[in-house]
Chains A and B, each alone.
Chain A
Amino acid sequence: MATISIEELHDLIKSLSKSEKRFFKLTASTDSDTAACSKLFDELENLPSTELLKSNKTITKLLKTKNILEETFDVILKSQRTFYAESISAYRIKDEISNLRNLFDKAQYKQCRKMLNKLKDEAYKEESFNFILEIISVEKQLLDIENKFGINFTSLDNLIKEEQELIDKSKNIGELTQAFSKVNYLVRQNMVAKTAKEFETYDKFLNSALLKNTSRCLSKKALVLFYHTRALCYSKKRDNDARKVEFSNMIKLMDSNPFLIYEYPKRYLSAINNVLSVEIEKANYLTAEKLINKFIELKKHPAFNTTDLQLKIFTSTTNGQLLIYTDGGRTDKAIPVVNYINEQIEIYQDKINKEELLIFYYNFANLFIYAGNYIEASKYLNLLLNENDMHLRQDLQCFSRLQNIILHFELNKIPQLKYIIKTAHDFYKNQKYQFKTEKMVLNMFEELTETDTPQKVWENYLREFKEAMKDPYEKIANYYFDFLAYIESKVNGKPIGDIIFEKQSDNWKK
């Protein structure tokens, strides 16, 4: 039995829905052995996390019972297993396999065979290869008995052949998972390919025997991984059209084989999110807004009825809304989204992963800069900069430094600004520039801190930025922050929000 801390048990209790809690209480009430567990559950249920370490007489007394934490944890999980017994496909198959074993043990061989064949068919339809392997292990025992009774449904040779085919299919999925993981690792390390060498890396993947075409995919599951990996490569090659094609193929495949959505719900959401991102990057805000609304509908889909997937839908859709409203110049619509996100962060607490939080904070900072609310922007930027995990979203870590410089400039904190520019230079010594734009921004603010004629500096840099933005790669930097609009606002003496609103108004028609 794994050791469970009171905090971990408390987290589990807090994660239960009302109906789950009700079900736990109902099942616990029928077993007198679990009375102490039930009592501890009641005590912890209403206790906020902050009160957990404070002394509570009843809890202290209950904790004296040996293994009470572990037992309560187990009893809750047991009630959860029963609660979800019918609704989770994998549980149902597992229970059916258990029925097979029971029928076999009870020497009900005919019925065992009948159920086995039916179950195997179902497992094949859902490509549950590991379960089929397990079913075959029961079938081998059954076959041995059947042969002795002179019944020949199949031969052991056929079963072994079948088993080998399943292993090959599983290995094929393993190979594709590995390929996906490698691409994903590269993606996490370095968000976008810039140099020819970096492009080459992704081209190598795309042209590898495994990923060149679908001929090496031995199952539909493999096909999902195939599309996903290719889509990721195109995404990093900034080929949005090919990226959309691959993700759309993946969605089409999964929509026509719903078991794949249940098998890979996160990948499905990721594909939807990527198609949305393509529309956002293409500034098709109207289409993007419609997609977001459809995306929100997925919350009701049973395949996504888990906390982590609900969270994923929440983060993807709210980030999408933030982006279209911020980049599309509709900051008024974005502010309620921020409030909603903050409320949800409070509810979900540490269940939202660091990466998602970083993205939220980064987008919040952008929004408030565009809205001219620099104090609020600073608040979120500090939250982002205080995250010290250098492995996570290096791109955001770079651009947040530039946001910080802008904010200090806007808040007229010039002495600090000089120091920040210096530290940013130091930061880039160990961190190569992803974009020329980044260096240009640093140089621009360096000049601005020392010049008496800032207007001239702004005008010079507007020209330089316009030139730089002719390079499609550099344009990406402008997705992180609309530097061009920012400099234009300075040159024209208009708020950045107004500049963006005007620039983006046509994009709300497509």
Chain B
Amino acid sequence: MKPSNLLFDIIKSLNNEEVKYFRKVSSLQQGEKNYIKLFNYISSLEEYDEEMVKVHFKNETFIKHLPSEKNQLLHHVLKSLRHFRIENNSVAQINEKIKNIQILFNKSLYKQARKVLNEVKEQAYEYELFYYILEIIDLEKVVIDMEAHFGQITNITIEKLIEEEVDIYKKIEQLTHFEKLLSRLHQLSAKLLFVRTKEDVDEIEKILNDATLLNGEETINSQKSFITALHIKGLAARLLNKPEEMFDAFQSLIFSMENNPSLISELPKNYVQAHGYVVRYYAIKRMYTDGFKTIDKLKALWLDPAFKSTDLQIAIFSNSYINEMLLYAYIGQHDKAKNVIPAVIKGLERYEAKINEEELLRIYQIITMVYFGVGEYSKALHWVNRIINSNYAELRQDIIRISKLINLIIHFELGNEDLLPYIYKSTVRFVASLDDSYKFEQHFLEHFKKIALSKREGKQTQSFVKFKEEMQNVFKDKYEKNALEYFNFYAWLDSKIHNISFSDAIKIRKQNMA
């Protein structure tokens, strides 16, 4: 990426408060500032075009050395962002205070240095800022040396400090160990909603049987490790399709973080994601009110200064809107889910390039389902095509595979009889090429052919009934049944059998199950 693109991207990513702060800080410098002129102009652009910049400033002398002006502007923007962060972020403030220790020490103000050191160290421990604590300990080693020279009695010795340092290294090592376990689970979850193969199940079991994780509170040496351990347990349970265990872990994670707010600011993403999983549980358990309450809680975080970063805003966006649409779709209120779509599309416009592919697939899939649910098949087709045309070899193959089947259903609903045979053949080839195809995929294709590609006769209802019976048989298998998480095949077949809408079929199914 060229520096000019970075400059443009950074300027465009500034929120109103940050722009205001930048202007305030810049105004402290007297006189006319070229970098401010450049800032104002670049902010007004929709896309960066260096030629346009040159033309706009053709009468200015500084245009002759535009690269250095841009660098200066970048330097000022980054500096202003750092200072803005210091004023708004406790951890950044602690980081700044560490500098104070060194300043006071350099001025031989040892008493003052000790005072600040003790205060900052306490804060760093509160936030479990291990790297900062190591830095503080390094400074403390020098401070105690001077205290000894000045005959100031302190019970801190270099040995104690090194013990403390070793203790911090242990905490870092344990946290890293947990992060590694969690990362492995994330890799699995990027591919699948639920694990299916014995190897994957064994791997998850192995992670769950990790000695440090298993001993729980006895061996876990920091709050951050504790939170990460809960995240591991929750995600493992999700992958193993054990909703109760998933809920317990993520609910504990949320409670623990809320009891210790410094952890929220340190591990905000874990906090957001945990809410996403909890909503998922409420959806499965048909605890819709709790689900919507949790979504509201998630959305409220949007305005929380601790969650202002783009990365977190995206996490909140995807976890709240995906789950909100999912929840409505679960209860067959696709019309309400459809009302959410404009906000989602707005979010996509804003963040699409920044949202990871796994999340994007999930978003496209749920939009497809919502449009399908309200019977807007053309729109559903548009979104399902975005999934099918994606080229993500490793990511969420489960979504891509199911989308291929949904694609057939959409074309069927659209009455694209000319196209259907070709798409069907292509889908069959696709499924045949898979090493681990599901039985339901094969059964689906077999029966779909009968109802969609044969001549439609009066006995089609019976074909749907048969289709449903076949699917019921296949879905007796717990792994096959997972397909229903992506698309309610029963509801679709019911809608055909009873000639009702897809969402009504869902509603009736939910009522019968209640």
Check if A108 sits within 8 Å of B131, measured CB to CB.
Answer: no
| Other A-B pairs beyond A80-B100, A90-B99, A353-B150, 19, CB < 8 Å | A8-B115, A12-B109, A94-B99, A102-B78, A102-B82, A145-B356, A147-B190, A149-B356, A156-B179, A156-B180, A160-B176, A170-B169, A178-B158, A181-B157, A181-B158, A307-B106, A308-B106, A308-B108, A309-B106
Nearest A residue to B351 via CB reads A107
Chain A contacts for B138, CB-based, 8 A: 130
Number of residues in B with C-beta < 8 Å to the partner?
74
**A397 part of interface (Cβ distance < 8 Å):** no
A-B contact pairs, 11 of them (CB 8 A): A3-B115, A4-B115, A12-B112, A102-B78, A106-B13, A111-B9, A149-B357, A171-B169, A178-B158, A309-B106, A354-B149
Contact of B1 among A101, A114, A389 (CB under 8 A): A114
Q: Mark B148-186, 1 if CB is under 8 A from A, else 0.
A: 111100000111001001100100110010011001001
Check if A80 sits within 8 Å of B81, measured CB to CB.
Answer: no
Contact of A81 among B81, B103, B187 (CB under 8 A): B103
Check if B13 sits within 8 Å of A108, measured CB to CB.
Answer: yes
Check if A391 sits within 8 Å of B310, measured CB to CB.
Answer: no
Q: Which of A1-42 contact B (CB under 8 A)?
A: 1-4, 8, 11-12, 15-16, 30
Complex: how many Å from CA A239 to CA B174? Answer: 45
Cβ of B289 to closest chain A Cβ, rounded Å: 32
Check if B309 sits within 8 Å of A150, measured CB to CB.
Answer: no
Number of residues in A with C-beta < 8 Å to the partner?
77
Check if B85 sits within 8 Å of A102, measured CB to CB.
Answer: yes
**B326 part of interface (Cβ distance < 8 Å):** no
Complex: how many Å from CA A95 to CA B86? Answer: 11
**A148 part of interface (Cβ distance < 8 Å):** yes
Check if A137 sits within 8 Å of B131, measured CB to CB.
Answer: yes
Smallest CB-CB A-B distances: 10 pairs: A105-B309, A148-B356, A306-B106, A353-B149, A181-B158, A107-B310, A134-B131, A15-B107, A351-B108, A107-B354
Check if A107 sits within 8 Å of B311, measured CB to CB.
Answer: yes
Nearest B residue to A143 via CB reads B183
Check if A353 sits within 8 Å of B131, measured CB to CB.
Answer: no
Cβ of B296 to closest chain A Cβ, rounded Å: 24
Q: Mark B96-113, 1 if CB is under 8 A from A, else 0.
A: 101110111111110110
Chain A contacts for B146, CB-based, 8 A: 308, 353
**A492 part of interface (Cβ distance < 8 Å):** no
Nearest B residue to A389 via CB reads B151
Contact of B99 among A73, A81, A167 (CB under 8 A): A81
Check if A102 sits within 8 Å of B81, measured CB to CB.
Answer: yes
**B335 part of interface (Cβ distance < 8 Å):** no
**B419 part of interface (Cβ distance < 8 Å):** no
- A interface, by DSSP: helix, strand, loop or mixed? helix
Chain B contacts for A12, CB-based, 8 A: 104, 107, 109, 112
Check if B103 sits within 8 Å of A98, measured CB to CB.
Answer: no
Contact of B131 among A8, A133, A141 (CB under 8 A): A133
Check if B112 sits within 8 Å of A4, measured CB to CB.
Answer: yes
Check if B13 sits within 8 Å of A107, measured CB to CB.
Answer: yes
Chain A contacts for B130, CB-based, 8 A: 133
A interface, CB within 8 angstroms of B: 1-4, 8, 11-12, 15-16, 30, 73, 77-78, 80-81, 84, 88, 90-91, 94-95, 98-99, 101-111, 114, 130-131, 133-134, 137, 140-141, 144-145, 147-150, 156-157, 160, 163-164, 167, 170-171, 174-175, 177-178, 181, 188, 266, 306-309, 311, 348, 351, 353-356, 389, 391-392
Cβ of B490 to closest chain A Cβ, rounded Å: 33
Check if B95 sits within 8 Å of A94, measured CB to CB.
Answer: yes
Given A8-B109, A170-B134, A391-B151, A178:B180 Cβ within 8 A: no
Check if B6 sits within 8 Å of A174, measured CB to CB.
Answer: no
Check if A111 sits within 8 Å of B1, measured CB to CB.
Answer: yes
Given A156-B183, A177-B158, A353-B150, A77:B100 Cβ within 8 A: yes
**B119 part of interface (Cβ distance < 8 Å):** yes
Check if A306 sits within 8 Å of B107, measured CB to CB.
Answer: yes
Given A102-B85, A104-B309, A148-B357, A130:B135 Cβ within 8 A: yes
Chain A contacts for B166, CB-based, 8 A: 171, 174
Complex: how many Å from CA A174 to CA B106? Answer: 23
Contact of B105 among A109, A145, A308 (CB under 8 A): A308
Complex: how many Å from CA A202 to CA B206? Answer: 50
Check if A150 sits within 8 Å of B357, measured CB to CB.
Answer: yes
**B116 part of interface (Cβ distance < 8 Å):** yes
**B141 part of interface (Cβ distance < 8 Å):** yes
Chain A contacts for B179, CB-based, 8 A: 140, 156, 160
Check if A150 sits within 8 Å of B131, measured CB to CB.
Answer: no
Given A8-B111, A108-B10, A149-B356, A95:B82 Cβ within 8 A: yes
Given A145-B311, A306-B106, A307-B108, A110:B394 Cβ within 8 A: no
Nearest B residue to A387 via CB reads B151
Given A167-B169, A178-B159, A99:B78 Cβ within 8 A: yes
Cβ of A282 to closest chain B Cβ, rounded Å: 27
**B314 part of interface (Cβ distance < 8 Å):** yes
Given A15-B109, A107-B314, A108-B13, A99:B82 Cβ within 8 A: yes
Complex: how many Å from CA A99 to CA B86? Answer: 12
Complex: how many Å from CA A170 to CA B190? Answer: 35
Contact of B151 among A91, A170, A392 (CB under 8 A): A392
Contact of B149 among A105, A109, A355 (CB under 8 A): A355
Chain B contacts for A392, CB-based, 8 A: 151
Given A102-B81, A102-B82, A108:B107 Cβ within 8 A: no
Given A88-B102, A130-B134, A148:B190 Cβ within 8 A: yes
Contact of B180 among A98, A114, A157 (CB under 8 A): A157
Nearest B residue to A98 via CB reads B82
Cβ of A412 to closest chain B Cβ, rounded Å: 35
Check if A164 sits within 8 Å of B309, measured CB to CB.
Answer: no
Chain A contacts for B81, CB-based, 8 A: 99, 102, 106
**B434 part of interface (Cβ distance < 8 Å):** no
Complex: how many Å from CA A91 to CA B102? Answer: 10
Given A308-B105, A389-B151, A174:B92 Cβ within 8 A: no
Contact of B118 among A2, A99, A141 (CB under 8 A): A2
Q: Which of B176-214 contact A (CB under 8 A)?
A: 176, 179-180, 183, 186-187, 190
Contact of A150 among B99, B107, B394 (CB under 8 A): B394
Given A148-B357, A167-B172, A178:B131 Cβ within 8 A: no
**B62 part of interface (Cβ distance < 8 Å):** no
Chain B contacts for A309, CB-based, 8 A: 106
Chain A contacts for B112, CB-based, 8 A: 4, 8, 11-12, 73
Nearest A residue to B313 via CB reads A107
**B438 part of interface (Cβ distance < 8 Å):** no
Check if A91 sits within 8 Å of B106, measured CB to CB.
Answer: no
Check if B151 sits within 8 Å of A307, measured CB to CB.
Answer: no
**B55 part of interface (Cβ distance < 8 Å):** no
Complex: how many Å from CA A4 to CA B13? Answer: 40
Chain B contacts for A95, CB-based, 8 A: 82
Check if B176 sits within 8 Å of A108, measured CB to CB.
Answer: no
Given A104-B311, A107-B310, A111-B1, A167:B173 Cβ within 8 A: yes
**B28 part of interface (Cβ distance < 8 Å):** yes
Chain B contacts for A77, CB-based, 8 A: 99-100, 103-104
Chain B contacts for A306, CB-based, 8 A: 105-108
Complex: how many Å from CA A167 to CA B166? Answer: 9
Chain A contacts for B105, CB-based, 8 A: 306, 308
**B358 part of interface (Cβ distance < 8 Å):** yes
Chain B contacts for A99, CB-based, 8 A: 78, 81-82
Chain B contacts for A167, CB-based, 8 A: 169, 172-173
Contact of B186 among A107, A144, A157 (CB under 8 A): A144
